[in-house]
Structure 1
Amino acid sequence: MSQTATFSPEQDVLRFSGNLTLARIGDLAERLRAYDGKVSSVDLSDVDRMDTVGAWIVQRFASEHDATIEGLSDDGRHLLTQVQKADQPVAMRPEHVGGFSRVLGEIGDAVMITLQTMLGLLGFLGATAIAFGTLIRHPSRFRFNATVMRFEVVGVSALGIIGLMSFLIGIVIAQQGAVQLRQFGAEVFTINLVGRLTLRELGVLMTAIMVAGRSGSAFAAQLGTMKLTEEIDAMRTIGVSPMEALVVPRTLAVVMMMPLLAFYSSLIAIIGGGLLSWVSLDIPPVTFVQRIREVVPITDLFICLIKAPVFGAIIAIAGCFQGMMVESDSEQVGIRTTAAVVQAIFLVIVLDAFFAMFFTWVGWV
């Protein structure tokens, strides 16, 4: 039968015996609190068992009497070390921090998180490139059916919402452009505005934002849920690379569908602008199309088709990266999904600015 924890003073040594466990500790804490003898060391060599509660009582008594603790086994010493680390005073109220220091600290934390995220994205981009290289060397490992299914989800299913969005954007650009240009008697230049702005910039940019909201968030949520349910760990266990099976099909689908979606979006926006020009400015469709052919250079189409796959790669990698970073609980899925969308849209806009400067530099204006 387990023995109740006891202690006995021997000169300036306090010797414990029995079980220092919650079930057998009894009123040991009260008796130790009432003990007023001189103690230089605590001997635990006769203790059969000790749990966290018993270790905490002994640690607190030894620290109050400035006594050393002896006679511990390796497990007991490890337990006592952990208790000593945890036995620290806890502030009931956080220390007051000045407004400037708090703002400076938050800025520093944000910068560090941004740098860590960028490094993680670069590493994930490298891992994705390695997975693509592996599939090129071993084509039999490529998952054709999964990629085709992503084509449908990313491309075909998005045609409706992207078409409606682009049509309305074309109408808005034409209407606002006509209102401003009418002041100078130059309503005809509304065609230039609609054609060049939608084909060169807004078509691909708005498509990228829409794809980031639809597909990027879906990728993060899907991979995050698989990470929580340990499906990804199970894939690694059976020898299937998650990068090849999950990331590559999604990335390839977005990269290949983005140029088609961007061209489709630009075309629908031009149709919307042409419809408003016909109704509001009395410009017939034949004249509108002829004017579009005259004022929109082929380089604008090339710019659209060059930017689209780059934006698609950024969206897919950001979504998959955030999904693979999910840990611990389901709340992380929502957090990472939001981060994937914000991150993808931010990077797309930054890259679009770089593309604008680059194409201006090379003379495609």
Structure 2
Amino acid sequence: MADQNKDTPQRQPGAEDADAAPPSVRLENGQLILSGRLLIDTIATLEPREQKAEAIDIAQVSHMDTAGAWYVVDLQRRMTGDTSQMPIHGADDMQSQLIEVVRTSMPPEDTGAVKPLSLTDRVEALGRKTASSARVGIELTSFLGQVIAALGNMVIHPRRLRLTSLVHHMQEVGWNAIPIVALMSFLIGVVLAFQGSVQLRQFGAEVFVVDLIAISVLRELGILLTAIIVAGRSGSAYTAAIGSMKMREEVDAMRTLGLDPIDILVVPRVLALVLMLPVLGLIADLSGLVGGAIMSWIELGVSPAVFQARLVSNTDVWHFLVGMIKAPFFAMIIGIIGCYEGLKVGGNAESLGRLTSTSVVLSIFMVIVADAIFSVVFALIGI
């Protein structure tokens, strides 16, 4: 028994107490002396120190983890404002390596107020945005050329057209959009009749509200607002659907199998829009005229028979044709942009959401620009 006691190693007195001691910070001779266990569950008990010191001594620290190393580095930074100026004494090799890893991983200090942009910076930012917009325009033009080439190839080889996909997208774009388009146009007609009657009544020209409604709905608002609704509804759906396939690498799988994504994904969607947007425009025109006629009857006493007679006698058929001429071009813009942005989606959900929003905004913007161009052209040729 005595031999066993003799061979058993003896711990130094107080060693176990030092290992279990809580952490503490004290200032002695211009040095901050840390002691105890600097662990994630113990550093919260330390009081913050704001005194100025020349160095930090951690020779009495028995245990240190990443949280303890962060405390030392943060203390060093708060004392001097720079983690590289105040020396740290008493660290063993493991502690030094841990502190160095934490120091290199620390986020940079807040630099304060942002430096105001100079004229050169603003010109540079404008130039970069202009170059980016020009690059997008070139890519969209190239993509439009690919789609037109694919459509031309399908005219030569009709069997390449995916008829089932085309009918499906025509239903999604056209038939399922009829309620919202009809309701929107009906309310627009009501608003036009009501606001027009308020202004025209002052001059005793209430009957001209029929001309106002007819020209506004047939020539501009009917097809323009329909295109905006379709851009927000179907254009975003195109981007989301193709973008989801891009994220799941289904588009890459198609190319691996020798299938052209333009033929399979883009052409049916664009063709469905080109075919169905004029139909939706016609429905929007009829709904807008019906809404205007009802409000004119209620507000001005213009009967449906008088409204119809004035509409037929004073409204040129070109007002209706102008709207119908715009429809295929608006459809092409919406379809091309929606599919183009979908094919740009990367491998994350953030890219999908961002490009879907970009698709809607860019489609609506380009539709309005195209409408403005059409208005100028038709005015120049006298239509």
TM-score calculated relative to the size of structure 1: 0.73
What is the deviation of 1:97? 4.3
SS class of match (1:212): helix
Q: CA deviation at 1:104?
A: 3.2
User: What corresponds to 1:134 in structure 2?
Assistant: 153
Matched, 1:100 2:118: yes
**Aligned partner of 1:118: which letter?**
G
Q: Which residue of 1 aligns with 2:282?
A: 263
Question: Deviation of residue 91 (structure 1)?
Answer: 7.7
Q: CA deviation at 1:109?
A: 2.7
Supply the AA of the counterpart residue of 1:350: V
Report Cα offsets for 1:190-241 as digits up to 9, x if no partner: 1000011100000000000000000000000001110010000111111111
Q: What CA distance in whole angstroms lies between the structure 1 residues aligned with 2:108 and 2:152?
A: 54
Establish whether residue 356 from structure 1 lines up as the match of residue 372 from structure 2.
no
Q: How does 1:1-365 map to 2 (within 5 A)?
A: 97-101=115-119, 102-364=121-383
Question: Shift of the alpha carbon at 1:254?
Answer: 0.2
**What SS does the corresponding residue of 1:360 show, helix, strand or coil?**
helix
**Unaligned 5+ residue runs, structure 2?**
1-103
- Report the AA paired with residue 214 of structure 1: R
Counterpart code for 2:127? G
Deviations 1:79-114 (A, max 9, x none): xxxxxxxx9xx9866796432344334323321221
Can you give the 5+ residue segments of structure 1 that lack an aligned partner in the other structure? Answer: 1-86
In the alignment, the residues of structure 2 paired with residue 326 and residue 360 of structure 1 have an alpha-carbon distance, to the nearest angstrom, of: 40
Which AA in structure 1 matches 2:118?
A: F
TM-score by length of 2: 0.70
Cα distance in structure 2, aligned partners of 1:92 and 1:249: 54
Q: How many residues align?
A: 276
Rounded Cα–Cα distance in structure 2 between residues aligned with 1:298 and 1:243 = 37
- What is the CA distance between 1:341 and its match in structure 2? 0.6
Deviation by residue 1:308-339 (Cα, 9 ceiling, x = unmatched): 01000000000000000111311111111111
Q: Secondary structure at the match of 1:163?
A: helix
User: In the aligned structure 1, how far is the partner of 2:314 from the partner of 2:356?
Assistant: 41
For 2:221 and 2:232, the matched residues in 1 are separated by: 16
Q: Deviations over 1:2-32 (max 9, x none)?
A: xxxxxxxxxxxxxxxxxxxxxxxxxxxxxxx
Q: Distance in 2 between matches of 1:229 and 1:363?
A: 52
Q: What percentage of aligned pairs have identical amino acids?
A: 42
How far apart in 1 are the matches of 2:226 and 2:118? 41
Matches of 1:103 and 1:274, distance apart in 2: 52
Would the aligned equivalents of 2:246 and 2:347 in 1 still touch at CA under 8 Å?
A: no
Distance 1:100-1:173 versus aligned 2 partners, 3 A rule:
farther
Q: CA RMSD in A?
A: 1.7
SS at match of 2:150: helix
Query: Rg bigger for which structure?
Result: 2
Residues 315 and 186 from structure 1, CA distance in 2 versus in 1: closer, same or farther, beyond 3 angstroms?
same
Partners in 2 of 1:141 and 1:92 — Cα distance?
A: 60
Q: Aligned letter for 2:307?
A: F
Matches of 1:223 and 1:103, distance apart in 2 = 36
Q: Secondary structure at the match of 2:118?
A: helix
Residue 124 of structure 1 aligns to a residue in which SS? Answer: helix
Quote the Cα distance in structure 1 between the aligned partners of 2:278 and 2:269. 15
Deviation at 1:141, TM superposition (A): 1.3
Q: Are the counterparts in 1 of residues 223 and 281 from structure 2 also a CA contact under 8 Å?
A: yes
